[in-house]
A and B are shown apart, each in its own frame.
Chain A
Amino acid sequence: MTAGTRPRRPRTQRFEVEGLTRVEGEGSLKLVVRDGEVVEARLGIFEAPRYFERLVQGRTPDEVLDIVARICGICPVAYQMSAVHAFEDAAGVEVDPAVRALRRLLYCGEWIESHALHVYFLHAPDFMGYASAIELARDHRVLVERALALKKAGNHLVSLVGGRPIHPVSVRVGGFYHVPTRSAMTALRPDLTAALDIALETVTIVAGLDTPDFEREPRLVSLRHPTDYPMNEGRIVSTDGLDLAPTDWEAAFEEDQVGWSNALQARTHAGEVYLLGPSSRITLAAGQLHPRAAEALAATGLAEAIRRNPFRSIVARAVELVHATALAIDIIDDYRPPERPAAPWTAGPGIAAWATEAPRGLLFHRYELDERGRVATARIVPPTSQNQAAIEADLTDFAPSVLDLPHDAATHRFEQLIRSYDPCISCATHFLDLRVDRRP
């Protein structure tokens, strides 16, 4: 056989990881690379559909709040908040300002819990050269203990305001079933003050981590509010000029079924991908950060890097830890129990829709209510399913820069990139395997 007489076969490269670790939930990713170019990047979410939209049909709005909280053990508050705001907007309910503050406090607790978990236990090991949080704990015991203190501060907030640390039960349409006393709130302050110091230190630590050199120009989407950093309220805005009411997500975006995922993928009506989450919020709403968080962000000098480099999302998450902790302290200091824990309201027909900011990004709910005010149809669009297509696009863009690395190192980089988006696959799935085909 004479070399060079046959056409060269394309070189195919294959990576395979069984079970991506350190993400909330499990799924799969397949990457096919031919002659150094990614020809297929698929983030598969293949848990059987959970039918929550069907489960809430025929239910009253207050029942819906408890049901949707069960979608996720990490971000149950987000599901309750999007739903309760939707129902209140539809019914024209005006809540007491103290109730509004309490809801922000509840969200602060969830952000603190979720971000502390992700920054320290799920994502930091990647940057610090550890295979898991076990090795991190062995070498940096103090760091892990501080992470636990942060997480505990968040747990206590959710427990106090929500009634229990996971799947809170206190939220109702119009307000709360029960509100904490001022003394109970004040009792949380010392732990939160300590947590704020830890959060500030966290920003310094993660800002100093080496990150892969990967930059792109993403389309970022989040809520933006005139005075508050986005949590419960604000308009849907984007880096390319979108500006919508929080009820109008469907005016700009749509969901589509893809063959490799049981979660619907969202894109703009023009078919473009977009990204949600801490980096988007920092980019689009940094002006509303708590002054302590704004200072911390400025000190890093990484605001632009957060926008362009997904690996820098760990810094965005740390800055939001500062924001949530400092805001929680302010809310506690100003707290006066509302005169009425819940405003009266009347159920009726209509469309209830709203978007709030879950730790991982914008979470949209839409309910059609029948004549009795019960849910006729429901649509729930979690942030991770909206991020799916953008993650696939980023993997495609990122792959060429690591294909020359040894197989294990390249695979690790892909996993690290996926973890940068803090996917909460549990909201939609339970299993994630990473498979990358390299085809020459």
Chain B
Amino acid sequence: MIPPRTVRLLVCGNADRGDDGAALAAVAGLLPCLPPHLLAVLEVRRCEQLDLEDLLDVPTCTTCVIVDTAIGLPVGSVITIPLVELPERDAAASGPNLRSTHVLPIGQLVAIAQILREHSLDGTFVGLGGRSFGFGRALGRPVRAALPAFRTAIEAALIEAATSSVTRTV
């Protein structure tokens, strides 16, 4: 019997660096509202700066949802991108050019992880455009206003990941 796939939620950012804390704030508000069957397959990990090891550590039978604030998007806008498309987006430099506070861009991290992993890394990136990342600052107004939409997008990505898990298990 194939074990059910789980969903790993990687929450990136720092709560004390302005808009960089948006993913933490969104997930903190979202988790208590998630249905039990989704919580049962969900594993939440916090990673201040997304590292290659965070992606290499994702088990084979697990779908990954990465949430983070990103530069390169209109401030307060939410974007959902399949992980497999992130490296191409980096290379093409078309559309929103996602950047973050990570040393290597997220597209490069995903691409390297795809190469080093024995199996592909399935999942989704959900990003929120940020602008103000000063130490000690609170979330900016546009980002605060976009948190409900960000939460909705994260929830949709989690449901999609869990649903695809069931489909694959079947």
* B residues in contact with A122, CB < 8 Å: 103
Given B17, B105, B115, B133, which contacts A137 in the complex, CB threshold below 8 Å? Answer: B115
- Given the complex of chains A and B, what is the CA–CA distance between A122 and B52 in angstroms? 14
B34 within 8 A of A: no
B112 within 8 A of A: yes
- A24-B103, A74-B103, A141-B116 as given contacts; A134 in contact with B52, CB under 8 Å: no
- Given the complex of chains A and B, what is the CA–CA distance between A152 and B111 in angstroms? 19
Chain B residues 78-127 with CB under 8 Å of chain A are 87, 99, 101, 103-105, 108, 111-112, 115-116
Asked if residues B116 and A132 are in contact (CB atoms below 8 Å), the reply is: no
Asked if residues A55 and B135 are in contact (CB atoms below 8 Å), the reply is: yes
Chain A residues 143-174 with CB under 8 Å of chain B are 144-145, 148, 151-152, 155, 166-167
- Given the complex of chains A and B, what is the CA–CA distance between A351 and B90 in angstroms? 48
* B residues in contact with A74, CB < 8 Å: 103
Chain A residues 42-75 with CB under 8 Å of chain B are 48, 50-52, 55, 67, 70-71, 73-74
- A121-B104, A148-B52, A166-B48 as given contacts; A50 in contact with B135, CB under 8 Å: yes
A117 within 8 A of B: yes
Q: How far is the CB of B85 from chain A (nearest CB, A)?
A: 15
B136 within 8 A of A: yes
Asked if residues B135 and A52 are in contact (CB atoms below 8 Å), the reply is: yes
Asked if residues B87 and A134 are in contact (CB atoms below 8 Å), the reply is: yes
- Given the complex of chains A and B, what is the CA–CA distance between A71 and B99 in angstroms? 19
Asked if residues B108 and A134 are in contact (CB atoms below 8 Å), the reply is: yes
Q: Quick one: CB contact mask for B7-27 with A, threshold 8 Å, 1 for yes?
A: 000000000110000000000
- A145-B116, A167-B48 as given contacts; A132 in contact with B108, CB under 8 Å: yes
Given A52, A55, A144, A152, which contacts B112 in the complex, CB threshold below 8 Å? Answer: A144
A426 within 8 A of B: yes
* B residues in contact with A50, CB < 8 Å: 134-135
- A134-B108, A137-B116 as given contacts; A73 in contact with B49, CB under 8 Å: yes
* Chain A, Cβ-Cβ closest to B103: A24
Chain A residues 86-144 with CB under 8 Å of chain B are 117, 121-122, 132-134, 137-138, 141, 144
Q: Quick one: CB contact mask for B132-158 with A, threshold 8 Å, 1 for yes?
A: 011110000000000000000000000
Asked if residues B112 and A70 are in contact (CB atoms below 8 Å), the reply is: no
Q: Quick one: CB contact mask for A164-190 with B, threshold 8 Å, 1 for yes?
A: 001100000000000000000000000
* A residues in contact with B52, CB < 8 Å: 148
* A residues in contact with B133, CB < 8 Å: 430
* Chain B, Cβ-Cβ closest to A139: B115
Asked if residues B104 and A133 are in contact (CB atoms below 8 Å), the reply is: yes
* Chain B, Cβ-Cβ closest to A138: B115
Q: How far is the CB of A21 from chain B (nearest CB, A)?
A: 8
Q: How far is the CB of A424 from chain B (nearest CB, A)?
A: 10
Given A51, A134, A145, A430, which contacts B111 in the complex, CB threshold below 8 Å? Answer: A134
- Given the complex of chains A and B, what is the CA–CA distance between A134 and B16 in angstroms? 31
Q: How far is the CB of B137 from chain A (nearest CB, A)?
A: 10
Asked if residues A70 and B101 are in contact (CB atoms below 8 Å), the reply is: no
* B residues in contact with A26, CB < 8 Å: 99
* A residues in contact with B134, CB < 8 Å: 48, 50-51
* B residues in contact with A167, CB < 8 Å: 48
Asked if residues B116 and A144 are in contact (CB atoms below 8 Å), the reply is: yes
* Chain B, Cβ-Cβ closest to A164: B48
- Given the complex of chains A and B, what is the CA–CA distance between A20 and B103 in angstroms? 12
Q: How far is the CB of B126 from chain A (nearest CB, A)?
A: 22
Chain B residues 46-65 with CB under 8 Å of chain A are 48-49, 52-53, 56
Q: How far is the CB of B141 from chain A (nearest CB, A)?
A: 18
Asked if residues A137 and B112 are in contact (CB atoms below 8 Å), the reply is: yes
- Given the complex of chains A and B, what is the CA–CA distance between A391 and B159 in angstroms? 50
Asked if residues B103 and A117 are in contact (CB atoms below 8 Å), the reply is: yes
- Given the complex of chains A and B, what is the CA–CA distance between A425 and B151 in angstroms? 32
- Given the complex of chains A and B, what is the CA–CA distance between A141 and B113 in angstroms? 11
- Given the complex of chains A and B, what is the CA–CA distance between A406 and B160 in angstroms? 48
- A152-B53, A166-B48 as given contacts; A133 in contact with B135, CB under 8 Å: no
* B residues in contact with A22, CB < 8 Å: 104
* B residues in contact with A117, CB < 8 Å: 103
Asked if residues B53 and A134 are in contact (CB atoms below 8 Å), the reply is: no
Q: How far is the CB of B113 from chain A (nearest CB, A)?
A: 9
* Chain B, Cβ-Cβ closest to A131: B91
* A residues in contact with B101, CB < 8 Å: 73, 426, 430
Q: How far is the CB of A317 from chain B (nearest CB, A)?
A: 15
- Given the complex of chains A and B, what is the CA–CA distance between A26 and B105 in angstroms? 12
* B residues in contact with A148, CB < 8 Å: 52-53, 56, 116
* Chain A, Cβ-Cβ closest to B48: A166
Asked if residues B112 and A134 are in contact (CB atoms below 8 Å), the reply is: yes
- Given the complex of chains A and B, what is the CA–CA distance between A70 and B101 in angstroms? 13
* A residues in contact with B99, CB < 8 Å: 26
Nearest 4 A-B pairs (CB), nearest first?
A134-B111, A137-B115, A137-B112, A73-B49
29 A-B interface contacts by CB (under 8 A): A26-B99, A52-B135, A55-B136, A70-B17, A70-B135, A71-B135, A73-B48, A73-B101, A117-B103, A121-B104, A133-B104, A133-B108, A134-B87, A134-B108, A134-B112, A134-B115, A137-B115, A137-B116, A138-B115, A141-B115, A141-B116, A144-B112, A144-B115, A148-B116, A151-B53, A152-B53, A155-B53, A426-B101, A430-B133
Taking A22-B104, A70-B135, A167-B48 as known contacts, 9 extra A-B pairs with beta carbons closer than 8 A to each other, sorted by chain A number, are A26-B99, A117-B103, A134-B112, A134-B115, A137-B116, A144-B116, A152-B53, A166-B48, A430-B101
